[in-house]
With several copies, the nearest count.
Chain A
Amino acid sequence: MKFEEIRRLIDLVERSDVDEVEVTQWFMNRIRVTRRVPRDIVDRPAASLSNPPDLPSLSSPNDRSRTKPSTTAPPQSEPEPDPEPVKTAAEPAPAPSSDRLHTVTSPIVGTFYAAQSPGAEPFAQVGDRVVPSTVLCIVEAMKIMNEIEAESAGTIEARLVENGEPVEFGQPLFTLRLA
C-alpha cells in the first residue's frame, strides 16, 4: 500500500472542488478518495452519498503467508458529525490516539518465544510496565536466541504474536502505550 500516494490524493481532494477521485492501476490497485460528507445535512438521500472505501490491496491469490490478512476500514455510517477524516486505507485501522502508541517490530526473521523456556513465565505480559532495556521476547534464528528489548518506556497494551509463531522482518510483536 502506497500511503504517500494516498496522502497526496487526499490532499488533492481536500483542496479541490471535487467529491471523488478514483484511480485504478495495474494489478487492481484501486484507490478511491471520497470527500467527507457533512453530517448536518439531514435530508440528503443517504444512498447516493455512501461511499465506503473499498480498497483491495495487492494480495496474492495463493497467499499462504503468515502475514495477517489486511482488514478494511469500516465504512462511516454515523449520522452525527464525525471528527475522523476520510479513511482510505486498506491496512489495519490504527487504534485511537495512536500517537501515544508504539509498535515493537521484529528486527530479524525467526521464531517468536514469549518466554525463556517452555514452562517459564513470559518475559512480558499485557499491562506490564517496561523500560528501554526490558527484554520483551526472544526471536530464535539459526539456533540463536535473540532477545528483543523494548525501545521505549511504557505499558504493554497488546502482544501480537503467538508463542512459537514464525515472524518475518518488520512484523509487529507488541503494542506499547508510551509512558
Chain B
Amino acid sequence: MFDKILIANRGEIALRVIRACKELGVSTVAVHSEADRESLHVRMADEHVCIGPAASTQSYLNKERIIAAAEITDASAVHPGYGFMAESAEFAEACRASHLVFIGPEPETIESMGNKVKARERMVDAGVPVVPGSDGPVETGPSALAVASEIGYPVIVKAAAGGGGRGMRVARSDAELETGIAMARAEAATAFGSDVVYIERFVERPRHVEIQILGDRLGSVIHLGERDCSIQRRHQKLLEEAPSPAVDDALRAKMGDAAVRGAEAIGYDSAGTVEFLLTPGGEFYFMEMNTRIQVEHPVTECVTGIDLVKEQIRVAAGDRLGFEQADVSVQGHAIECRINAESPRHNFRPAPGRIDLVYFPGGPGIRVDSHIYPGYDVSPHYDSMIAKLVAHGSTRDEAIRRMRRALEELIIEGIPTTAPFHQAVLASAEFSEGRVDTGFIERFEW
C-alpha cells in the first residue's frame, strides 16, 4: 500500500478520498487553490499545499503544480477524483513520468475511451452492443435509405462534428430521412463548417443505466451491478439509484457481462463505469465508458457494501481484488440526490454565495457526503454541487420515503438549492412507479 497519496481535487470527492485513505492508514496531501483555503478537504488532510489562484486552469487543472506538490510532499500516488484531471491521459502520463502512481487506468486506456469513435470501435470488437448506425458518413439518396432500412426507423441524423442538439434530425420514414439529411447537412455546414452526417437508430424514451466495473492489475474484472441515472437535465445527472427499477436479475447479468467483456477487452484495471442506453424494450447500447470514480458511486457502495474508493486505491497499489463476482450481491435499494447550489425554479441557474446555516439529516440509512459547513462560501469558480444525500432502504419504497424525510430534515440557508426539486421528483407518481426516462425532467412540471 502507498504511504502517502496526494488528492488532486477539491470538494466532497477530495473528502471522500481522504476518508478512504484514513481507513487504509495512508497519509494524505490536499492541494487547494487560494479560494479553497478554508475548505474541509484542506482541514482534514494530513498535509496541504496551496497550488495557485482560484481559477481552475491555474490550480486544479495545472498538472505541473499538482505534480510539484506531490514531489515536495513525497507522495507516492495521486488520486484524481472526478472532473479536473481525472480523465486526462496527459496528466496520467505526466504522473507516470514523475514516478507517481496515477490512481486510475493506464493513460492509453483513458485515451482510447476518451475518443468516442475509438471507444465505439473497441466495444464493437469486444461484442458489446452499440446503437446500430451507419458506421461512417452518409449522403442523401439510395445509400442513406439502405442504411436506414437496415437499422430500422426511427433514425437520427447527426452531424459528425456536432454537439448540443444542432445538426440533428429525427426521421421516421424514407421521405423524412431525405429531407432530414438535407436539412442536417445544411445546418451542420453552417454550425460546424462541415456537412458530414451519419445515421443512428433513434432510441425513444431511453433510460440511462450504467454498470460499475472494478478491475485489478492481475487481470480480474468484475461488475457491481447497475445504477439508473435517468433523472438528468441536459445530460447533467441529478438523482441516481441502484438497482434500476427497469433492470431484473437476468438483464443485470446480461448488461454486467457485456460491461465486463468490454472492460476486459481494453485491459481495464481500476474502477470505471460503462454507460448504456436502455430501451423500453430491454435492449441496451454502449454509450461511453468513464475511466474514473463517479459522483454517484455511493449508491453502489450502499447496496453492495463495497467501498469503491478503497478498492480503487488497493488495486492501484497492485493488490488483488478482495472478492469475486459471486461474492457481490445487491441488498436493498439506494438513492442519491445531488444537492446543488442552484435555483431550480430559475432554470437551475448556479447560485454561489455564503451558506449561513447547515443541518444534515441523520438516523437510519442516511449517508451524507459534503464539504460544506455553516459560513462556507460556495465559490462561483467551481462545480455547484455542495452535497450528496444518499438514502438506503430495504426496498425502493423505503429508500424513497427515507430520502423524502431526509430532505425534510435538511436545512441549508443562505443560498437556494436543488433540494425542493428533488422533493418534487420523489413525490411524483412517475418516479415512484419507476416510469422515467432521460427526457423525464424536460417534461416534468412542479
A/B contact in complex, CB under 8 angstroms? yes
| Shortest distance between the CB of A24 and any CB in chain B (Å) | 5
Task: Write the nearest CB–CB distance from A167 to chain B, whole angstroms.
Answer: 8
State the Cβ distance, B407 to closest chain A Cβ, in Å: 12
| Nearest B residue to A58, CB-CB | B38
How many of chain A's residues touch chain B, expressed as a range?
A: 20 to 34
Interface residues of B in 16-61 (CB under 8 A from A): 34, 37-38, 42-44, 46-53, 59
- A29 to B359 CA separation, bound complex (whole angstroms): 14
> A103 near B: Cβ within 8 Å?
no
The answer for the CA separation of A34 and B37 in the assembled complex, in Å, is 27
Interface residues on B, range: 35 or more
A141→B51 contact, CB < 8 A: no
Chain B positions 68 through 100: 1 when the CB is less than 8 Å from some CB of chain A, otherwise 0 = 110111000000000000000000000000100
| A62 pairs with B46, CB closer than 8 A | yes
Contacting residues, chain A, for B53 (C-beta < 8 A): 169
A65 to B52, CA, bound (A): 16
> B38 contacts which of A57, A61, A62, A67 (Cβ < 8 Å)?
A57
Q: How far is the CB of B138 from chain A (nearest CB, A)?
A: 47
Interface membership of A64, Cβ < 8 A: yes
Known interface pairs A27-B374, A141-B68, A169-B34. Does A58 touch B49 (Cβ–Cβ under 8 Å)? no
A74 within 8 A of B: no
Q: How far is the CB of A162 from chain B (nearest CB, A)?
A: 13
Determine how close the nearest CB of chain B comes to the CB of A11; give it in whole angstroms. 19
The answer to whether A28 and B374 have CB atoms under 8 Å apart is yes
B32 vs chain A, min Cβ distance (A): 9
Alpha-carbon separation in the docked complex, A108 to B69 (Å)? 10
Closest to A171 in B: B50
Interface residue A30 (Cβ < 8 Å from any Cβ of B) = yes
Question: Chain A's nearest CB lies how many Å from the CB of B9?
Answer: 16
Chain A residues closer than 8 Å to B72, beta-carbon distance:
109-111, 166-167
Output the least CB separation between B419 and chain A (Å).
13
Among B37, B50, B69, B359, the one with the most A-chain Cβ atoms within 10 Å of its Cβ is B50
B48, B51, B358, most chain A CB atoms within 10 A: B48
Provide the bound-state CA to CA distance between A166 and B69, in Å. Answer: 9
The answer for the CA separation of A169 and B62 in the assembled complex, in Å, is 12
Q: Is the CB of B51 within 8 A of A27?
A: no
Tell me if A25 counts as interface (CB < 8 A to partner B).
yes
**Interface status of A168 (Cβ within 8 A of chain B):** yes
Given A58-B38, A60-B43, A142-B67, A28 and B51 contact (CB-CB distance below 8 Å) = no
Task: State whether A28 touches B50 (Cβ < 8 A).
Answer: no
Q: Do A28 and B71 form a contact, CB below 8 Å, given A57-B37, A67-B48, A168-B51?
A: no
Q: Mark A56-72, 1 if CB is under 8 A from B, else 0.
A: 01101110111100000
Q: Mark B336-366, 1 if CB is under 8 A from A, else 0.
A: 0000000000000000001011110000000
Contact of A29 (CB < 8 Å), options: B48, B52, B68, B375: B375
What 0/1 readout, one digit per residue, does chain B (260-291) give for beta carbons within 8 Å of chain A? 00000000000000000000000000000000
Pairwise interchain contact A109-B375, C-beta atoms closer than 8 A: no
Map CB proximity to B onto A155-168 as digits: 1 under 8 Å, 0 otherwise.
00000000000111
Q: Let me know if B42 and A60 touch, CB within 8 A.
A: yes
Interface presence of B252 (CB below 8 A): no
Q: Which residues of chain B from 242 to 264 have a CB within 8 Å of any chain A CB?
A: none
Q: Are A109 and B49 in contact (CB under 8 A)?
A: yes
- Which residues on the B side are within 8 Å of A8 (C-beta)? none
Shortest CB-to-CB span from A168 to chain B, Å, is 4
Residues of B within 8 A of A44 (CB): none
- Cβ contacts under 8 Å, B2 to chain A: none
A29 to B44, CA, bound (A): 17
Question: A79 contacts the other chain (Cβ, under 8 Å)?
Answer: no
Residue B64 at the chain A interface, CB threshold 8 Å? yes
- Chain B residues near A26: list those with CB within 8 A: 38, 357, 373-375
Task: Given A57-B37, A109-B65, verify A168-B49 contact (CB < 8 Å).
Answer: yes
> Is A2 part of the binding interface, using a Cβ–Cβ cutoff of 8 Å?
yes
CB-defined contacts of A67 to chain B, threshold 8 Å: 48, 50
Minimum C-beta distance from B29 to chain A (A)? 9
What mask results when residues 1 to 27 of chain A are scored 1 for a CB within 8 Å of chain B, else 0? 110000000000000000000001111
A133 to B50, CA, bound (A): 26
In the complex the two chains form, what is the Cα distance from A67 to B98 in whole Å?
A: 24
CB < 8 Å neighbour of A142 from B46, B64, B375, B411 = B64
The answer to whether residues A108 and B68 also contact, given A26-B357, A60-B42 and a CB cut-off of 8 A, is yes
Nearest-CB distance from B30 to chain A (Å)? 9
Name 15 A/B residue pairs within 8 A (Cβ), A-sorted: A26-B375, A27-B373, A28-B356, A29-B375, A57-B38, A64-B46, A65-B47, A109-B49, A109-B52, A111-B71, A142-B71, A168-B50, A168-B51, A169-B53, A171-B50
Given A60-B48, A110-B68, 14 more A-B residue pairs with CB atoms under 8 Å apart are: A1-B375, A25-B375, A27-B411, A29-B374, A29-B375, A62-B43, A62-B408, A66-B47, A109-B72, A110-B72, A111-B71, A141-B71, A169-B53, A170-B34
8 residue pairs, one from A and one from B, having the closest CB atoms: A166-B72, A141-B68, A26-B374, A58-B38, A109-B68, A168-B50, A26-B375, A28-B374
